[in-house]
Chains A and B, each alone.
Chain A
Amino acid sequence: MKMKLFPVIALVGAFIVACDKDIQNPLLEPYAVSSLDENAGQWKPYILSSVSDIVVPEPKPVTDPAYLKELDSLKNYIAPRVTPENRAAVEHWGAGAVYRWNEIARELSARYNLPPASNAEGKYPVPDAANPLKDPKFPFANPPYAARALAYLSVAQFDALVTAWNYKYKFNRKAPYKIDSGIKPLLPASDLPSYPSEAAVVAAASYTVLIAMFPGEVPYLDGKLAENKNAMIWAAMSTPSDITAGDALGKAVAARVMAKAKTDGMSAANNQSRTPAMIETAKSIGIIEPWKSQESPLRPTMLPTYGEVATWNFSKETMIAMRPPKPWIVGTPEFEKDLKELQGIQKNQTREQARIANFWADGAGSYTPPAHWHRIGAEAGKDAKYSEVRMARTLALLGTAEMDAGIACWDAKHYYFTPRPQQFGVKTSVGLPNFPSYTSGHSTFSSAGATVLSYIFPERKNEFEAMALEASNSRIYGLIHYRVDCEMGVAHGKTIGGYAVQRGQTDGSGL
């Protein structure tokens, strides 16, 4: 009886058990900000008419017994009881409240970015906001939806923070550890006045927007809100009165922002009854073969009237005036040339082309292209050690540009109503979006995003523009857009992003 192999098997077994396969998100080092942006209280908000629209009550003086009791509690009750889990939460939220809430919104977008399945009657049920967790879940967080959710999120954060900055420097209450040197903060110390707490402002504003955008996620968001606020107490960055004031301010500002959101036309963005007239318009301007759904059963086009939703940085008249020109018409030599390019790639797609197509695909189930650009913007702001308020400004400029890009692109798509290459037998290596072809959403989103980020981080202009061009080309390599869709989308996105840049140049920041 030979059992020589058993030790080897045992060894392999031990290796297998020891092998840790879990993927960890990279740890982020909390940073001391490069600038406090002391004058941000004078920056121009988006929705509020001024930074004093919302009144924040004057805090008790730092000599008040109630405040002294808060300090004593931080030092003698909370600090000795901070657990390793509390510390982990502090580290996590130390990356920045704007940064983390943007990440949460991206995660929710990915969770909800799934198209409804067809039912037994061959129809696609429309998600119901009143029953968000029932199949199909509400929302279907497709690119226009995610662009809008992230825009309102960033705008609410920005308006709330510029208001907070106004009161911070008006009341000038120092951070707990600046008042009592016996208090040791777990995050980098700062001279930023601590009332109202900027983290609580961001958390409450973000929470208020996100429970409206993702109504099935209230328990999840409750947990995040509580953790973000608690982390600032555990870290001794704020006292409970700083947090309470910040929470109230964030919620009040976000309520104003959501009141605007409710009247921006989104509730009428899926008006399918308008599509026959859209197709007639397209035919009347020469589109001889309009777009048809390539899904089975035929799926109605995604949000055909999203183009009518209110824009941020330019008027509807401007949007129509800068609508991209008519694309190549089926059968023309220019069209045939673009189609041939795709047929050639389909036959001999290189691995590098597939890689680029996959990298930027951001299709169903992902956080979508506008959220991809939010991630790029948030990372750039973190690398530049931006303050909360400057991070919010970055993402508000970016977020409004992304939503504007979505609206203007959807307007063009449903004005021209052009066919996808799949109507001519082309396959795809990334999955086919269910709406007309011209112009490419990826190209428009990416070019608008790169334009805004190049203004904010001019030293990285070449890098952002190269990314946008690659994202645009990815749709050709993935075989779902003609070159003209992509090139005109890039040009359109650049113009759209330019309007956000103009806004940034005149928002009082001097940046």
Chain B
Amino acid sequence: MTRIFAAVLLFRVLLFPAFLSAQQPNDAIYMDKNAICIVAAYGHNSWDTYWENTLKRQNLNIGTNTTQSFALMAAAGITDKLNLLVGLPYVSTRNSAGNLLGQKGLQDFSAALKYKLFNNEGLSLHGTLGGSIPVSNYVPDFLPMSIGLHSATASARLVFNYLHKSGIYFTAHGAYTARSNVRTDRDSYQANDKIYNSDELAIPNATDGGINIGYLKNSLQATLFLERFDCVGGDHIRRNDAPYPTNDMEATNIGAYVKFQPGHFGVNARYAYTTSGRNVGQTTSLMAGILYQFSIKKSSN
């Protein structure tokens, strides 16, 4: 790909509270060498229905749970084939009913390196290594109000992409994310029907994967996607209990993404909806961002 496309850093809202996972390292779009794209994005995610283990229910003492985020993200072309992606969101939560106190704060800084491993005749393969680390001392286990799980993560992802000359493209991607255990304010808690005399919570690792079908030409990108997130192990929300960071959270989302960037400035928007899940909210997720792209040097090619 020789054209200059802004790599889009998208917050993928998959989990119960406001779990904003890394960026959009799951596409085949690169910044050219020395090009930088900065994104300011607003996200709004909400649910009034959730899966208590497998039981789909509402809760009059939560009403609608809403997570808002404001994030700054950037993508930079280290080379034409190697991009650096970084992002940091500010997150706030609230319920429309009941009396749980909303939480807010800077969440997790994330970074990823994306590398083009193979590219021939529109077929390409990409590898992404990423990680995230909490940047503030927020409370991880006051779900569903906590702004995140406070886990440091490391993930490895492969992205397969086919781009037809017409601009139609297809992407399939999959990742494994290792998530660190976290410390809570308690010295004992219940999980898996057991008492743990410890302040350390085991956060299950996670896998995710998905497919995109879209159109990418000139200044326009439009995509439909289907994605799946699964924890590797974990326990389930007990009957009428609150969710907990140890839970085996699972979600299937469908959605659409559009970006339009005729010049330095651009805009993007994303919509996603959780069609099925376990130990998560049935989330409607909306995101809109403004992009600004520039080059720090004249491109050598």
Q: CB distance A116 to B240 under 8 Å?
A: yes
Could you tell me the distance in whole angstroms from the C-beta of B183 to the nearest C-beta in chain A? Answer: 11
B156 touches which of A13, A25, A114, A355 (Cβ 8 Å): A13
Give complex CA distance A15, B156 in Å: 11
Interface residues of A in 351-396 (CB under 8 A from B): 351, 354-356, 358-359, 361, 364-367, 372, 375
Contacts of A427 in B (CB 8 A): 99-102
Let me know if B193 is at the binding interface, CB within 8 A. Answer: yes
Q: CB distance A429 to B118 under 8 Å?
A: no
Let me know if A180 is at the binding interface, CB within 8 A. Answer: no
Give complex CA distance A349, B238 in Å: 29
CB-based nearest A residue for B200? A23
A12 touches which of B98, B156, B195, B204 (Cβ 8 Å): B156
CB-based nearest B residue for A13? B156
Q: CB distance B101 to A428 under 8 Å?
A: yes
Give complex CA distance A34, B40 in Å: 66
B154 touches which of A4, A12, A294, A432 (Cβ 8 Å): A12
Give complex CA distance A5, B115 in Å: 8
Interface residues of A in 104-135 (CB under 8 A from B): 106-107, 110-111, 114-118, 135
B60 touches which of A16, A22, A297, A375 (Cβ 8 Å): A297
Give complex CA distance A25, B199 in Å: 11
Contacts of B205 in A (CB 8 A): 16, 21
Contacts of B89 in A (CB 8 A): none
Let me know if A57 is at the binding interface, CB within 8 A. Answer: no
Give complex CA distance A229, B263 in Å: 78
Q: Given the known A-B contacts A16-B176, A429-B142, are A23 and B239 also in contact in the complex, defined by CB atoms under 8 Å?
A: no
Q: Given the known A-B contacts A116-B240, A296-B97, A367-B190, are A15 and B178 also in contact in the complex, defined by CB atoms under 8 Å?
A: yes
Give complex CA distance A364, B184 in Å: 17
Q: CB distance A428 to B178 under 8 Å?
A: no
Interface residues of A in 128-159 (CB under 8 A from B): 135-137
Q: CB distance B202 to A117 under 8 Å?
A: no
Contacts of B203 in A (CB 8 A): 21
Give complex CA distance A427, B94 in Å: 11
Q: CB distance B239 to A1 under 8 Å?
A: no
Contacts of A358 in B (CB 8 A): 139, 141-142, 184-186
Let me know if A64 is at the binding interface, CB within 8 A. Answer: no
Give complex CA distance A16, B207 in Å: 12
Q: Write the A1-36 contact mask toward B (1 if CB under 8 angstroms, else 0).
A: 111111011001101100101110110000000000
A354 touches which of B81, B139, B178 (Cβ 8 Å): B139
A4-B117, A25-B196, A107-B190 are known contacts; what are 15 more A-B pairs with Cβ within 8 Å? A2-B81, A5-B127, A23-B198, A103-B195, A111-B193, A295-B98, A296-B98, A354-B185, A358-B185, A366-B189, A366-B190, A422-B99, A428-B100, A429-B101, A429-B139
